[in-house]
Amino acid sequence: MDMFNATVPVFDRMLGSMQTWIGIAREHARTKGFDESVYLTLRLAPDMLPLPRQIQIASDGAKGAVARLSGQEVPSWADTEVTLDDLLARLQKTRDYVNSFKPEQINGSEQREVTVPRRQGDPFKFSGEDFLRFFATPNLYFHATTLYALLRHAGVPLGKMDFLGSR
């Protein structure tokens, strides 16, 4: 498995798609004549995290994955985004960070032990390959899919190709 090609370009593409969705949402709000800040409170159920947290967690997951696989400390970023502009900047900062990694920093990490702390309980421990396949990638797609679903639920005209990154 080429760990670099399974992380950096994949994560960058999904983060870029998320930026595109927010741009489409902004245009939708302008066209329909409502304040785009309405999107910031979206959630599919009362007990789920709102739209900004979906982006923040996706961002944290992507930056955490490349840092852990390369053996570096995961940078800590405050979750202070309160506007769509802030969230777009967060996504771009994440893309820039992810794209700063070179293949030689990540390739060969298949057997590296990766530890992911948890709020409660013992940390998760994985080999690098299992971390990527069974935790980091599904986590990124979970939060990206939730963002996509929130925007679709709000009437934003997104389609499957927007999710896949054809724009």
Tens of pLDDT, residues 2-39:
999 999 999 999 999 999 999 999 999 999 999 999 99
Rounded CA-CA distance 145/142 in Å is 5
pLDDT at 130 over 60: yes
CATH no. for 8-108+128-164: 1.20.120.450
Domain boundaries, the chain: 8-108+128-164
Tens of pLDDT, residues 65-111:
999 999 999 999 999 999 999 999 999 999 999 999 999 999 999 99
